[in-house]
Structure 1
Amino acid sequence: MSGLDLTKQQFADFCLYSEFGRRPKNAWTLESLGLVAIHYPFIDKVTTCPQDWKTLLPDPDKQLAEWRNLLKITLDFFIRENSAVFYENEQYPRWMGARFPVKMLQGPDKKNKGQKRDQLWPQIRDRHYNRVIKLLIAVFPAIQPEQAHWKSLVNHLMIEVWDAIRPCLRQFESGYQLDIKQQAEFYSPKQVWRCPYTRRALDVTLLGYSPYLPGSKEIAPEKAVLIEMPELPVRHWRLSGGGEIAREERLEWLESNALIQHAREEGLWSTRSDRLALKDSWYRLEEHSAQRTPEQNQFNEKQFKSGKVNVLNCSTTMEMGVDIGGMSLVAMNNVPPAPANYLQRAGRAGRRGESASAAITLCKNTAHGMEVFKDPLWAFNTTASAPRVRFGSSSIVQRHVNALVLGLFLRAEVPDATKLSCKWFFEGDESQCLRFLHWLNHQADELADKLKRLTQGTVLMSLTATQLLTRTQAMMQQVDIRWRSQLAILLENIEALKADNSAWEETPAGKAIAYQLRDYRGAYLFSKLISEAFLPGHGFPVGVVNFNYLTADELEKRRAIKATQADPNEGGESFSRRIEKLPSRDLPTALREYAPGADVVLGGKVYRSSGIMLGKVLASGQELSGDHHIPWFWHCRKCGAGATSTTRPVECSHCKADIQQLDVKRYLQPVGFATDIRYQAHNDVSMPAQLPWKDPRVLVPSSVWVSLPDAELGRYRFSHSGELFHFSEGEFGHGYAICLSCGRAESQTQPQRTPENLKNPERENTHYLLRGGSNDRQGSNKLCHGHVHKDLWLGYSSRTDMVELQLNDDNGLLIRDEVAARSLAVALREGLAHKLGIENTELGVTTQQARDINGYTGYSIFIYDNNAGGAGYAVQLIDHWADVFNYARKLLDCSCDKFCHHCLLSYDSQHYVNRLDRHHALTLLTNVRLQRLNLAPEYQYFGDGSRVETNPLSLRIAQCLNSEIYDSCSLVLAGPQE
């Protein structure tokens, strides 16, 4: 993991440093368990104690012993606790599983810190006392630190402590550190003290008092309790003949030993101690996920099958057809989002005839996890509806048309189209893309029958072959334009580098752009076309971005590996071209997991995201001219409309409200994220920094409002090109400060304030380059002079199908209760998913403040397709008002207090459980209101199946004619008229 090339002795030293380099207060270590204690031989050589100590402790029988205790307490609970420890390798602290700064100890003559890592010697300076000082004050009540006499005595006493331990410290130019390897010895204690405050073991106290005193002076200090600790009957459980005592005998000793039973009662002997005393085997863990290379995953699979890896930590690759086999136990670190996911994962165990298999799920303290914990049979009792195929979305059908004609074209051009790159298809004056567009002009007659069969019964069945192919041409032309535009930017960047430096290929910036150009040209063609919504990609993530975690350490390791290769070009590919695949996420997810300031865990290492990769990658230090390329996001507070725009909005495009009534933000859409090239990765995964989950903004284009079957209930509008805007506004909600040259970004604590890390105090308006590099070959210039733009969001906009619903309360006003609106939105989503026979994860819901037809403020309900480009699901709500609302009412008639998995709780709704309450939603679904969704009996001319038509007549006739359900559409004009 660390890349450190350690000998066996060095690795043993590292393990000791990891366990004893620090003395944590609450963490479980061999010391806090009472199994190992540290002894400092030089303390035994101390034979006298100072006069100040004798003044505090008159009892001559205790003076020397307690003076030695004070010296050891200072070493353990001040020097080691504050990490003022010398490590033979400065890289060791990074890989010890906990992040802590290594301090440099300063002597008592130093009154102020010269640098951040300085640790001043304990003295009475102000009212914030050090742990050692607090212990002295508590143990000796006569000490009055406010009085000059006692202050002088205690400070002089601490100078005596310094003089006593100074010989065991290693001196450096900037201070002192404890060389624990040279000064410490380890032993198994026969007695330990139980701390009354931490309930952990202590090997030393001062007159029986623990160094971990409470903060309040009003609480009288308690004495620690002395506990006898057991000793193994046979060292290492090894017999004199060379064998080992059987595990059953060891267990019997653990259960019968009186000292162990007493230690258990006192809370000093836990199951951890049992495992250590039993000498149980350790477990080797490895990661198996799509974030690692296929070679790494395959190697770990082999290691797992051979037994060299005991636990394989897998992501959802286990659900994607990866069959490792030979597993007897599947343990899930969290509750899967849906029953199908659970069954797929649990079913991996016991596939090879194992005698026993099991599945264990850890339920985290989340709403989703706790509900599954209450109902362990959740995955088996939940009924999944059979999926139904619908052809009412023109965008989906058109993508299938595109796939058909592109497949026919490629079949005639290449023998194997499964490995094509974007360069092969788009680049060149006579590119394959241009050939494809030209080819479409002459295929209408030949493809007419195929296209007719494909579109039969769909929304596009009325279009001719020429019309369908014209739509395909227009979509491909847009893809071609976007791809060539980005290529031109990359080539311009290279030309700019060439003008600055003839040896541009050797500079870090030149290598970075060359690699990006190579990856851009070599991108898989079909992935690109799917991400551009040209080809069908149901379930395929769109808008995928990478996280560049390669630091200077990682790159140095790669160079070292390259230097050891006999032939760096072996296999027909140079080392530089075999760059490990970078981890990736779809942009909505990446905006939370990869956002600047977030920690990303890869292969057991933790990397901190420090910036973004911009759409325009310029040479190091070269500034963008202006910020005209930064788009805008706006939302109208008056009518609820909104959109993204390349120019600053001056008014609402829908209601014409002026700029004062618009919420306007500028945002950047990253093409990737990156860590600082100088960042030092570590393996402390205990508290990774993460950004909170945010509701996306839903922006419905100017659409016609249509009344519900009963106009008094409310109104709705829908769109096949609604805009879904995912965004990140930073850790503190005030946006990011982003360098438009190198991409370095940091969350702002206040609006219009540049974070300190983006300002170099020695050189104004400079900061360190995010990814290093310079314009000179030696790379001496690491500073970036680019413009730092403040108050920016990170955002991603996609088009999809959506419905906006404005429901009125009993007073005829738009819903003002957000809890009721959000709860009803979730229930309607469940009802629509049930009606269409799809998973509820296909649909997303949210609520936003809006204004009704009379200008009153309330909340709109939005239901949208999660699939980028739209899947045609959400808009089908307008055909099933009564069925969906009745199902929602049935769903909300639950026995829970507010929400549970049987009504409102799901994998995504757990993020806003504070806005869920089924009782609030039920007030909007009374029987009277539900009946008003149906056609009155006197108007049911066609029987019980008669219903109100809220759509314009021409639209409904067209939908019927293009539907796969109906063969004909009759318009009946007879009957009484009003």
Structure 2
Amino acid sequence: RIYKLDPGLYKVLPGRDRGAVEYYRCDACHKITRINIRGVCPSFRCSGKLHAVDLEKELRHNHYRYLYLNLRPEPMLAQEHTAQLSTEYAAEVQTKFVKGEINVLSCSTTFELGVDVGELETVFMKNVPPTPANYAQRAGRAGRRTDSTAYALTFARLASHDISQFRQPQRMISGVVKPPSFDVNNCKIAKRHVYACAFAQFWRAHPTHFRTVGDFFLNDGPLLFRRFLDGRPKSLLHALKEVVPSAVQREIGVDDWSWVEEMYSADGVMTKTVNELDRDLATLDDALQEAVDHGQYSTAERLKLIRNTIVKKPLISYLSQKNLLPKYGFPVDVVNLDVNFHTAEARNIDLSRDMQIAISEYAPESEVVANGRLWTSRYVKKVPARELRRYKYTQCRCGYFSKAFLDNELDSRCPVCGGISRGCHVFVVPEFGFIAEPRPKSPGNQRPERTFSSRKFFSGHSRSKDQVDILLPGGVLQLRTHTHGVLTVVNDGHGYGFYICQKCGYGALERIPLNHTNALGRECRGPVERVSLGYDFETDIVELDFAAMFGGSALREGYWESFMYSIIEGFSQALEIDRQDIDGTLYVRPDGTRTIVLFDTVPGGAGHVKRILEDDNIRTVLETARTILENCTCGGRAMDTSCYGCLRTYQNQYIHDKLRRDYALDALSTVLG
């Protein structure tokens, strides 16, 4: 049966017309009603009597009635203001906001608008910021003027970090903000600035050795640079004594120029960079000649283009990656998502990301919202006479990871567990960027699609390593320090890779048709291969090998991760290092032993993790970690969970449900006794 209301039985009267409707107020509960049956209040269990009232007089000073009758409705004009916009257009949006022509801004987290942004009164955060410092920075943008009151509203998503902070909001709102600190006597960072001063003077005298890797390294650049430094130019010495702290000058040998000897020694950063480049080019040349000898001319051409990609790489970026130049805290490998600039929507945007982020946000079929439109990445950008660098890799479910340059053989069978490694086993480095589909769409109500990169992997590669054995109550701890250790980030397209056209770069998660179109809209019938996207970067690494102390209990899921993050928390507090400047990952060695790898997140490394070798710092770190866990109360007596007071951080949300305080305490008790 279907029931519906009969509109003929209802009469609508204007309530403000005098005489049209009579109103009554109860003398007990004071509720106002227009229904009066013998003066009885219609409210449940109220014994009051109704009396006629003048509604205009009674509600004359009611705040909400006044707002309803007198407040002029304002249109809500919203506009994006993020780093994705061009500089000129972003400035135009900012000006309109300050003038009141726009009253809602959808901003990136940094809110790049300066201090005084007009009558900004309300800040809405769509997720909980990582730390109290981030919260204060975002919420503090509102109410900067004395004649306004700030209002900050934070939406907690159904994510571990957000829910945890929602349950204890005072930790975020009233949390302690640690002031930033800098160690100006950091020799590792100072050396890179010394090298920068030296290169600057050298390139002024030898400008032909400046632009590309080939211009310098294949044109006797390292030899000429050494001769230049052996001349000990007075202008360079004066510049170094001006900028390098006196304590660091003595440590690295500014006066006696011993830093030059170290730079070019067998273990020096210049020598290792030259040897590494020579080895890669020799491998390419050998593979190219072998391909020609076997009549594999298409393979030979591809190898030739890969070689050209290496030697044509911008020299500044290459030297920064190899820690011969400072990165100044900024990403060196920045790639773009190119859009069709012939359209009106594309003229005002500039889409660029650090490579570590770009291999997720800009991967084929990933979607990006910019300037009110939805852009879909479709192509891995190809450049004439160049080719993407390729690596083979293996990634097993047990955690073992390994990679090799070019077509060097890698056994697909895991040496640890004997299983067949999952993944498509080849990743390319998309160093030329990506290209979006030419026609953007409307964003709609769904979140943009995105494929996610994996965690950082350590494959054991580094330029050099030293080992120190430390006797602890639980046994011998092996500490291995890796100079310029290599970490790898891989986006494997949900485990299935991406189908990429080798000719035009067309990419998709599903198999693509043979006759697809290239970025210019023309038909392409190039060969298609299935690959992942990846990226390598160098930083300081310390490997902690506790394996000899643990038995089968350490194989429980989440055990090693809990132990690792407890050490990182202890490291941060004991040595007063910003938690966001260090991180860790697990490394499964070919013999099956698990080790904890700590690394600097600062670009190029800042020497933080190597401080664990100084004095008795390792014991201090482990004891501090145990104290943190013992003082926490999460999980009650069972201790079968974790919280932001012990193991959890914004960055390790991927494993929050596996981190347990009892696991970490058990591991620390085994090590410390």
Q: TM (normalized to structure 1)?
A: 0.51
Alignment partner, residue 517 of structure 2: 768
Counterparts of 1:343 and 1:317 in 2: how far apart (Å)?
11
Change (3 A) 1:830 1:434: same
| Secondary structure of the corresponding residue to residue 561 of structure 2 | helix
Q: For residues 460 and 759 of structure 1, what CA distance do their matches in structure 2 show? A: 64
2:609 — aligned with what?
A: 874
In structure 1, what residue type is equivalent to 2:159?
Answer: T
Question: Which digits, 9 at most, give the CA deviation of each residue in 1:822-863, with x for residues without a partner?
Answer: 122112112212233232111122224446xxx5x4543221
Task: Output one character per residue of 1:589-626: Cα deviation in whole Å (capped at 9) or x when no partner.
Answer: 11221111211111121111122114x4369xxxx8xx
Q: Does 1:352 align with 2:145?
A: yes
Q: How much does 1:284 deviate?
A: 0.8
Q: Determine which of 753, 776, 793 is the counterpart of 2:532.
A: 793
Q: Is the 8 A contact 2:76 2:103 kept in 1?
A: yes
> Is 2:358 the partner of 1:605?
no
Is it true that 1:700 corresponds to 2:460 in the alignment? yes
Cα displacement (A) at 1:225 = 8.2
CA change 1:680–1:356 in 2 (3 A) is closer
Once residues 716 and 477 of structure 1 are traced to their aligned partners in structure 2, the CA distance between those partners, rounded to angstroms, is: 23
Inter-partner Cα distance in structure 1 for 2:605 and 2:9: 67
Corresponding residue SS for 1:631: strand
Shift of 1:292: 0.7
- The runs of 5 or more residues in structure 1 that have no matched partner are 1-206, 209-222, 239-254, 259-273, 415-420, 487-516, 560-578, 749-754, 761-765, 774-781, 933-978
Quote the sequence identity (%).
26
Shift of 1:820: 1.8
Q: CA deviation at 1:358?
A: 2.5
Shift of 1:657: 9.8
Q: How far apart are residue 796 of structure 1 and its match? A: 0.0
Cα distance between partner residues in 2 of 1:256 and 1:793:
69
Instruction: Give, as a single letter, the amino acid of the residue that structure 2 aligns with 1:837.
Output: E
Residues 868 and 617 (structure 1 numbering): CA distance in 2 closer, same or farther, change over 3 Å?
farther
The letter of the residue matching 2:486 is: E
Q: Does 1:683 align with 2:432?
A: no
Q: Is the 8 A contact 2:187 2:251 kept in 1?
A: no
1:448 to partner: Cα distance = 4.2
- CA positional deviation for 1:461: 2.5
Residue by residue, what CA displacement relative to the aligned partner does 1:364-399 show, whole Å, maximum 9, x if unpaired? 2211111221222223333527635175664x2321
1:883 paired with 2:626, answer no
Which residue type is aligned with residue 664 of structure 2? Answer: A
User: Which position in structure 2 is the counterpart of 1:555?
Assistant: 342
Equivalences for residues 607-646 of structure 1 within 5 A? 607-614=375-382, 616-617=383-384, 630-634=390-394, 642-646=402-406
C-alpha distance 229-877 of structure 1, shift in aligned 2 (>3 A): farther
Per-residue deviation, 1:787: 1.8
- Distance of aligned partners of 1:370 and 1:660 in 2 relative to their CA distance in 1, 3 Å threshold: closer
SS of residue matched to 1:331: strand
CA contact (8 A) 1:385 1:834 kept: no
Q: When the two structures are superposed, what TM-score results if normalisation uses the length of structure 2? A: 0.72
**Distance in structure 2 (CA, Å) of the matches to 1:534 and 1:257:** 83
Describe the shift of the 1:659–1:906 C-alpha distance in structure 2 as closer, same or farther (beyond 3 A): closer
| Cα separation, 2, equivalents of 1:609 and 1:293 | 19
Distance in structure 2 (CA, Å) of the matches to 1:406 and 1:323: 41
User: Which amino acid letter does the alignment assign opposite residue 916 of structure 1?
Assistant: L
In structure 2, distance between residues paired with 1:638 and 1:460: 48
Residue 352 of structure 2 is aligned to residue 584 of structure 1 = yes
Counterpart residue number, 2:431: 671
Residue 313 (structure 1) aligned to one of 93, 96, 106: 106
1:544 and 2:334 aligned: yes
In the alignment, which of 880, 895, 900 is matched to residue 643 of structure 2? Answer: 900
* Equivalent position SS for 2:335: strand
The 5 Å alignment of 1:143-292 reads 208=2, 280-292=73-85
CA distance in 2, matches of 1:402, 1:593: 34
How much does 1:300 deviate? 0.9
The 8 Å contact of residues 818 and 859 in structure 1, kept in 2 or not, is answered as no
Q: Which amino acid aligns with 1:822?
A: E
**Contact 2:499 2:508 (C-alpha < 8 Å) held by counterparts:** yes
Counterpart of 2:287?
A: none
2:342 match: secondary structure: helix
Match of 2:259 in 1: 468
Write out per-residue CA displacement over residues 244-293 of structure 1, whole angstroms, 9 at most, x where no aligned residue.
xxxxxxxxxxx9799xxxxxxxxxxxxxxx99xx9943311111111111
The aligned residue for residue 491 of structure 2 is 728
Shift of 1:455: 7.0
Offset at 1:302?
1.1
Partner Cα distance (1:839, 1:230) in 2: 68
Q: Residues 716 and 226 (structure 1 numbering): CA distance in 2 closer, same or farther, change over 3 Å?
A: farther
CA deviations on 1:409-457 (whole Å, 9 max, x unpaired) are: 689999xxxxxx969x979x99999998875453355544654783754
- Write 1 or 2 for the structure with the bigger share of strand: 2
Highest Rg: 1 or 2? 1
**Residue 709 (structure 1) aligns with:** 471
- Equivalenced residue count is 571
Instruction: Give 1:735 shift.
Output: 1.2
Cα deviations by residue, 1:512-542 (Å, 9 ceiling, x for unpaired): xxxxx9xx99x9x977865664432243123
Q: What SS does structure 1 have at the residue aligned with 2:657?
A: helix
Distance in 2, matches of 1:328 and 1:913, equals 35
Distance, in Å, in 1 between the alignment partners of 2:568 and 2:34 is 60
3-state SS in 1 of match to 2:624: helix
Distance 1:849 1:431 in 2: 40
CA distance in structure 2 between the partners assigned to 1:353 and 1:532 by the alignment = 51
1:442 maps onto 2:231 in alignment: yes
CA shift at 1:692, angstroms?
Answer: 3.7
Counterpart selection for 1:743 from 502, 505, 508: 505
Pairing partner for 1:835 from 530, 555, 574: 574
Q: Which residue type is aligned with residue 529 of structure 2?
A: H
Q: Counterpart of 1:734 in structure 2: which amino acid?
A: Y
DSSP 3-state at the match of 1:795: strand
